[in-house]
A and B are shown apart, each in its own frame.
Chain A
Amino acid sequence: MNFLWPIAWSLLGLALPIVLFYLIRQRLRVKPVTTLLFWENLAPKVHNLPLWRKLRRFVSLLLQLLLLALIIFALARPILPGQSTVATSVILVLDPSVTMAAKSGNGTRWQDAVETALHRVDAMSFGDQAAVILAGDPPQVLSPWTGRKGDLREVIRAAKIGSTVTDIRPALRLAQNLVLSHPGASIELISDTVWTVAPDKDSLDKVKLDLVGTAVANSGITLFAARPLPAGAGEYQLAIKLEQNTTTPVNGELTIQQNGQLMDVLQVTIPPGQTWQKFWRAQSMDAVSFEATWKPQGEDSFALDQQASAHLDPVRGINVTLVSPPNPFLEIALGSQTLVKTQRVWPAPAAGDAADLTIFNGTVPPADWHGKAIVLINPPQSGFWGERVGPIDKPLVSEVDKDAALMRFADVSDVQLHDATEFKPAPGAHVYVDSFGKPLIFGHWESDPRWVVVAFDLDQSDFVFRTAFPILCANLIQALRPDAVAEANNVPGPVATQLKQIASASSAEVVKPAPGHWWNAIPFWWWFALDALLLLLIEWSLYTRRITE
């Protein structure tokens, strides 16, 4: 057996004063008294002691020496066979996944994780070092390598749980990199292993997993979103999805509130292995807030997925500048749109304007134009939108991208075109309508900067007489209105609701978290010392007071 502090054995010299003290105590203390009248016939007297009582004193001495040896043994910090005598380094990776908020015993998984990390810190010996990483994307180094337990405890206690399910891989990669600076260091991952993506085996190489939490029943909201519909200004759709992770149906009550007022109350049964979902459709020009509350019957260990909220912004007005000679079709089609203010100018202003949409009909913007969104109808020349090639002979609509938001419900397949101009679209442009490989409507309308080219003259087609024309105008306008979808983080998501622990003992070494008792952090040899000290005091007290005699 080895000892971390073998010099402690020199304390065996303390045995000498103990023996001397014992010998001194063997000598009777002389007590002068003025009379022996009251001391007569008192029992027991020393000279009447039986043999075992005299032996008792030698036993007492031996016991004290033995206890001293025990204390010194503890101070010498023995190393059991198999234990390392060198200082160790450990990287503690804390998983702040939102699922760590799930109940675990009397607390939460996060509390268990923090306690486990604190115990690991408490168990550090002299010379040991640790670093603390908070998982996430990107991961956060809470503490660099340090041997100061106080600092480590402080950062661990200060760590906060996240609002999403963690991707553990970046944290493990960072930990593996930190290991390179401390060869021999180990990685200790404290997690419930409910992750969006399971790390590969290489990432878990030499990782000890402190698994917190067990499989628990849960049901909750995995989607709650409100989005405007392109069908019309202010139209929106509200969607909700409920999931559960048990093998039996889960019943509960779902309450929906709109702007703080009760909107709907539903008794819901979520079948095992399936989802339950429902949609509402309505229209509102004003801002709308939605609250969903799910109250399942029976036990539910994860509360964060039982409430969700969504918000719709008010429908915003759109300013349109029409740069065109008088064109009643365009003016009427635009003016009929809800909350659209149209202004026609001719010729084009020199430096652009602040309108949300500028439509150039038969003309092109100046070179230094800086409008927000541009529609070019039959542009007479080349530009950033593409290279003008020449007229298209007998143009016909041959293909329409009906999946594009711009062309939704706009049926242009039968539009008659008398003439059109062929353009070679700029790189990145999307072709919405073409005529046998020659684009008729193309551009970039899904994100900024938005621009669309209509490569034919409206006056030389029947497009303006078709219902597709106002629909296309409406789609142009709707695309400019901001998406009022539900906040991305209002619910933890299906991974969290399922609470499925994807790591197992096969993927990493699973270490059961230590029970939350402070004495687990005390090295066993300190127990030796405490026990020995306690026994020493008791023995001293008994011996001195002669209670055992």
Chain B
Amino acid sequence: MPEIAVDALFDREFLQRLEALSLAARQLVRGRMKAERRSSARGSSVEFAEYRPFTEGDDFRYIDWNAFARWRQLVLKLFVEEEDLYIHFLLDGTASMDFGDPLKFDYARKIVAGLGYLGLSNLDRVSVVPLGSEPAQWWFPSRGRDRFLPLLRYLAAMPVTGAGAHLETATRKWQMMKPRRGLVVMVSDLWGFERGDALRAMDRIRYGRHELAVIQVMDETEQSAGAAGEYELVDTEYGHRRKIILDRASAKEFDDNFRQYQESIRTYCRRYQVPLLQINTKLPIMDLLLKSLQQGGFVR
């Protein structure tokens, strides 16, 4: 895939609308997710959390002497430990994303750019991890709106990282880097090596104690079998070939298979309370971002 200039992929109008979206995001997120970013750890911020009886080994500097004077009991005054939120965007860069009109990969990159902008604006630490067969350079966690332009350049230069990738394997490789726990937004078509591949990849993320959100990106033509005829199907990702006669019966069977797979994804996400958006690339990107804000779970 040719390298795309920043301006070509993320034009001025897109960026202007992102700014407007970030304002909407503040209202939406603030109202609904108050206090969700506080860490369970107690730390040294100025915000009081609770009292705890003093035990041996505790730092006596945290003893609340006023409370001792009142209760005659040594208690520690605990404060909320505020910490940065890490948002990891796992961007599917496998060959299957290099398909459709517009390309699913371009659409996915815009999603990451949009959500990334919201995260950076919120002073979250945003990282982007390409999922592919080839090791690719990450976008290491960064914070602040001034990092948005480099993020765009990174995304614009991001290639599709070849064929034959397993989602689970790519996810495992990322986890081996021991990323900080946080919100993981997986942007992928979820077409794995086989049916369980995508689910296992999501399992791995959940097992790593990350919060997971999934955006499944599809092209419209992938959702139906297409015109009847005799075809040799070529899997663009794995290179597998299959000769097939496409008639009404086989088209119906395709529809059934597709529906079952999608349902399995939905069932999984419902079971584990994973926010999920299944969309096709015909949906305007801003509508999608707004939808992700309304549904919740994709940004904080």
Contact = CB atoms under 8 A, between A and B. Distances in A.
A pairs with B: yes
A30 B242 CA distance: 10
B233 A36 contact: yes
A37 B247 contact: no
Interface string B231-260: 111111110101111110110011001100
A33 B194 contact: no
A44 B229 CA distance: 12
A362 B240 CA distance: 139
A105 B222 CA distance: 64
B245 A44 contact: yes
Contacts of B99: 32, 34
Interface string B133-150: 000000000000000000
Contacts of B127: none
Contact of A28 (B97, B235, B237, B243): B243
A223 to B, nearest CB: 79
Prevailing SS type, chain A contact patch: loop
Interface string A532-547: 0000000000001111
B243 A30 contact: no
B214 to A, nearest CB: 17
Contact of A544 (B96, B194, B219, B229): B229
Given A32-B236, A42-B250, A47-B243, A37 B231 contact: no
Contact of B250 (A29, A30, A31, A43): A43
Nearest to A53: B245
A548 B260 CA distance: 29
B234 A37 contact: no
A394 interface: no
B183 to A, nearest CB: 27
Interface in B176-229: 189, 191-192, 194-195, 219, 222, 226, 228-229
Given A37-B261, A42-B254, 12 more contacts: A30-B231, A30-B232, A32-B99, A32-B233, A34-B97, A38-B257, A41-B253, A42-B253, A46-B244, A545-B229, A549-B245, A549-B247
Contacts of A33: 222, 233-236
A368 interface: no
A33 B239 CA distance: 10
A388 to B, nearest CB: 118
In the A-B complex, the 5 residue pairs with the closest CB atoms: A35-B191, A34-B96, A38-B257, A46-B243, A28-B232
A138 to B, nearest CB: 71
20 contacts: A29-B232, A30-B232, A32-B234, A33-B233, A35-B189, A36-B235, A37-B195, A39-B244, A41-B257, A42-B253, A42-B254, A43-B250, A45-B242, A45-B245, A46-B230, A47-B243, A546-B229, A546-B247, A549-B245, A549-B247
Interface of A: 28-47, 49, 544-547, 549
A35 B96 CA distance: 7
A93 to B, nearest CB: 60
Contacts of B191: 34-35, 37
Contacts of B240: 36
A547 B219 CA distance: 28
B234 A46 contact: no
A28 B257 contact: no
Contacts of B261: 37-38
A547 B244 CA distance: 14
A40 B247 CA distance: 15
Contacts of A39: 233, 242, 244, 254, 257
Contacts of B244: 39, 42, 45-46
B190 to A, nearest CB: 9
Nearest to B250: A42
A34 B223 CA distance: 11
A38 B229 contact: no
Nearest to A29: B231
A548 to B, nearest CB: 10
B235 A35 contact: yes
Nearest to A26: B230
Interface residues of B, number: 37
B37 to A, nearest CB: 37
B194 A31 contact: no
Interface in B32-62: none
Nearest to A544: B229
A32 to B, nearest CB: 5
B216 to A, nearest CB: 12
Contacts of B247: 545-547, 549
Given A29-B229, A31-B226, A38 B235 contact: no
A546 B243 contact: no
Nearest to B189: A34
Given A34-B189, A38-B257, A46-B244, A28 B230 contact: yes
Contacts of A28: 230-232, 243
B207 to A, nearest CB: 24
A545 B229 CA distance: 6
Contact of B237 (A30, A34, A45, A47): A34
Nearest to A38: B257
B77 to A, nearest CB: 57
A533 to B, nearest CB: 23
A493 B189 CA distance: 95
Nearest to A545: B228
Contacts of B222: 33-35
Nearest to B238: A36
B256 to A, nearest CB: 9
A256 B226 CA distance: 83
Contacts of B237: 34-35
Contacts of A32: 99, 233-234, 236
A30 B245 CA distance: 12
Q: Pick from B219, B244, B253 the residue with the most CB of A within 10 Å.
A: B244
Contacts of B232: 28-31
A549 B195 CA distance: 30
B239 to A, nearest CB: 10
A32 B238 CA distance: 11
B250 A37 contact: no
B147 to A, nearest CB: 32
Contact of A31 (B233, B238, B254, B257): B233
Nearest to B98: A34
Interface string B101-113: 0001000000000
Contacts of A35: 96, 189, 191, 222, 235, 237
Contacts of A546: 228-230, 245-247
Given A38-B257, A38-B261, A43-B250, A31 B245 contact: no
Nearest to B236: A32
A30 B244 CA distance: 10
A40 B257 contact: yes
A30 B234 CA distance: 7
A22 to B, nearest CB: 13
A525 B172 CA distance: 75
Given A31-B226, A32-B236, A38 B258 contact: yes
Contacts of B230: 28-29, 46, 546
Contacts of A34: 96-97, 99, 104, 189, 191, 219, 222, 235-237
